Chain A
């Protein structure tokens, strides 16, 4: 039902949580039907950042379309690029050299850390605590500086390409990452002390936005959202790619299914990412950073699907090729799209403050949803 803003016949109030709102998740328009202060229905209106990426990719070559996926989920831009590169390599049967595989995994995990840091800061800001925002950005700047020396950009780096990575690691990379890890270890405990153990924060998060295991699967949720409801769905464990089958890490799951469980899963994931980086940073193999490929790539006729685990969940790239230099049809399966469809189910019966907390723990990035 399309609700008009105003009052319905039952005396319920219909309000906008408009496209421009300070929760800085992007442009999400929610039409909320309230009875008193309790939410009866939440209806997301999308499309305020729909940039017709899938249509655009039909006219870009297989090397060019990777840059545009950086801008879809810009907080996991490396991981998105990685997914596209994997799909093209699957189609062209390109073998990636071991050095490139390890570099890709290192960059992925650093990106996951940076994304979770920003999530933590922004979510605490939504719930009302402004200080963690500055703490989170201080750590994120350290990762951005490391990325900038190697990849050339801070946010949307087009570093992965079919066959490997675009440039070799900067000579200071290992030293700087080790310094960062030494600096960041104590910070996670500081985060726990500042926010996780805070009684007010726990009161805001516990029991809010419950998502059961069956609902999480039915709504297609993935990533920390589903793992907090008990669904074991980490792509890095189920269908490992690159060197994920050779590093030791755990899949962090929870059983609570509420906001606090999702929060704990992401904090746990940060620790696992640190552990993966520590295992790999001293063992980067020597060799080529890029396999020899032709300048113009032509995928053979057929369909190729590859999935990677971004900070938000499962990102899928589905390429249908007719043998030309540009794809015939590309579909990006974005994690936020399915996670958002569970928002209405989770928010019913809560108040608007709880809705903001639920949106914060879903970790939505709207350009990823709208593509």
Chain B
């Protein structure tokens, strides 16, 4: 795909080349959305599907999620893959606080969205990761297919590009 078709702005052809007219915000959003680095954060089963998305068959580094960082200080997006329980919630909050702005959150799977299969009669599960940190994109599934996670990542990219986040 020709980069001029995805790069925001208009190209005015003039003699000797072309002039690109655009807004700085749009260029910055375009750059941010195409190089989101996820944080390695998987608590339970969804982590395996996240690992599948990272590996060769459903590669997510095609979309810019190249390096999965282990430290939150260098990560842009945190993919909450798995159930959050009462003991883990302060840890999640601390990781989110340690991430530098701009940061985005994807709640992957039913457990992170709303508590999932552990909604009723459990004393230790936080019913949804959005009780702890603000979430941008929710993915349904238990666990969601790797294609569903890729769709969520692309949705996040579109959300950033349109300036909504």
Q: Do chains A and B touch in the complex (CB under 8 A)?
A: yes
Which residues of A approach B to under 8 Å, CB–CB?
A: 18-22, 24, 26-27, 47-53, 55-56, 58-59, 67-68, 71, 74-75, 118, 133-134, 137-138, 140-141, 144, 154-156, 366-367
CB of B120 within 8 A of CB of A56, answer yes
B51 and A24: CB pair below 8 A? yes
Contact yes or no, B43 A49, CB < 8 A: yes
Contacts of B145 in A (CB 8 A): 154
Contact residues of B between 74 and 92, Cβ < 8 Å to A = 82-83, 85, 87-88, 91
**Residue in chain A with minimal CB distance to B124:** A52
Contact of B41 among A20, A68, A154 (CB under 8 A): A20
Are the CB atoms of B48 and A22 closer together than 8 Å? no
Chain B residue nearest to A71 (CB atoms) is B45
Interface of chain A, helix or strand or loop or mixed? loop
* Distance of B110 from chain A, by nearest CB (Å): 10
A19 to B89, CA, bound (A): 11
Chosen A-B contacts, 26 in total, with CB atoms closer than 8 Å, are A20-B41, A22-B70, A24-B40, A24-B47, A26-B42, A48-B85, A48-B91, A49-B88, A50-B124, A51-B85, A51-B118, A51-B122, A52-B118, A52-B125, A56-B118, A59-B120, A68-B118, A74-B44, A75-B48, A137-B56, A137-B57, A141-B57, A154-B52, A155-B48, A155-B143, A367-B43
Interface centre among A20, A26, A55, A133 (most CB of B within 10 A): A20
Interface of B is mostly: loop
Q: Assess whether B88 is in contact with A48, with CB atoms less than 8 Å apart.
A: yes
- Among all A-B residue pairs, the 7 with the closest Cβ atoms: A137-B55, A22-B70, A74-B45, A52-B122, A48-B88, A367-B44, A22-B40
For the complex, give the distance between the alpha carbons of A68 and B45 in Å.
Answer: 12
Known: A22-B70, A118-B48. A48 touches B120 (CB 8 A): no
| List of B residues within 8 angstroms of A50 by Cβ | 85, 87, 124
Task: Report the minimum CB–CB distance from A251 to chain B (whole Å).
Answer: 28
Residues of chain A within 8 A (CB-CB) of B52 are 137, 140-141, 144, 154
The complex places the Cα of A24 from the Cα of B47 at a distance, in Å, of 8
State the total of A-B contacts with C-beta under 8 angstroms: 102
- A47 to chain B: closest residue by CB: B87
Contact of B121 among A49, A59, A67, A366 (CB under 8 A): A59
Does B95 contact A20, Cβ atoms closer than 8 Å?
Answer: yes
Q: List B contacts of A59 (CB < 8 A).
A: 120-121
- Which residue, of A22, A51, A140, has the highest number of chain B Cβ atoms within 10 A? A51
With both beta carbons as reference points, the residue of chain A lying nearest to B91 in the complex is identified as A19
B30-74: CB near A (< 8 Å → 1, else 0) gives 000000000111111101110110011100000000001010000
Q: Once the chains are docked, how many angstroms separate the CA of A186 from the CA of B54?
A: 25
Contact in complex: A55, B117 (CB < 8 Å): no
Min Cβ gap A68→B in Å is: 6
- A133 and chain B: residue at smallest CB distance: B55
Q: A56-B118, A137-B55, A154-B145 are in contact. Are A49 and B83 (CB under 8 A)?
A: yes
Known: A22-B70, A367-B45. 5 other contacts (CB 8 A): A48-B43, A50-B87, A118-B48, A138-B56, A156-B45
* A58 CA to B95 CA, complexed, in Å: 34
How far is A27 from B85 in the complex, measured between Cα atoms in Å?
11
Known contacts A68-B117, A133-B55, A138-B55; is-contact A27 B122 (Cβ 8 Å): no
Q: Tell me which of A18, A49, A68, A75 contacts B82 (CB under 8 A).
A: A49
Given A49-B44, A156-B143; A137-B91 close (CB under 8 Å): no
B137 at the A interface (CB under 8 A): no
Closest to B55 in A: A137
Q: With a CB–CB cut-off of 8 A, which chain B residues contact A47?
A: 85, 87
Known: A26-B47, A156-B142, A156-B143. A51 touches B91 (CB 8 A): no
CA distance A19 to B72 in the complex (A): 13
The answer to whether A49 touches B51 (Cβ under 8 A) is no
A140 to B58 alpha-carbon distance, docked (Å)? 13
B36 CB, min distance to chain A CBs, angstroms = 18
Give A366 to B85 CA distance when docked, in angstroms: 13
Considering the chains assembled together, what is the distance between the CA atoms of A366 and B57 in angstroms? Answer: 26
CB-based nearest B residue for A75: B48
Complex interface: chain A residues within 8 A of B48 (CB): 74-75, 118, 155
Could you tell me the distance in whole angstroms from the C-beta of A312 to the nearest C-beta in chain B? 15
Could you tell me the distance in whole angstroms from the C-beta of B48 to the nearest C-beta in chain A? 6
Residues of chain B within 8 A (CB-CB) of A20 are: 39-41, 91, 95
> Given A49-B82, A155-B49, are A26 and B44 also a contact pair (CB < 8 Å)?
yes
Q: Are B45 and A49 in contact (CB under 8 A)?
A: no
Contact of A134 among B43, B55, B91 (CB under 8 A): B55
- Chain A residue with Cβ nearest B70: A22
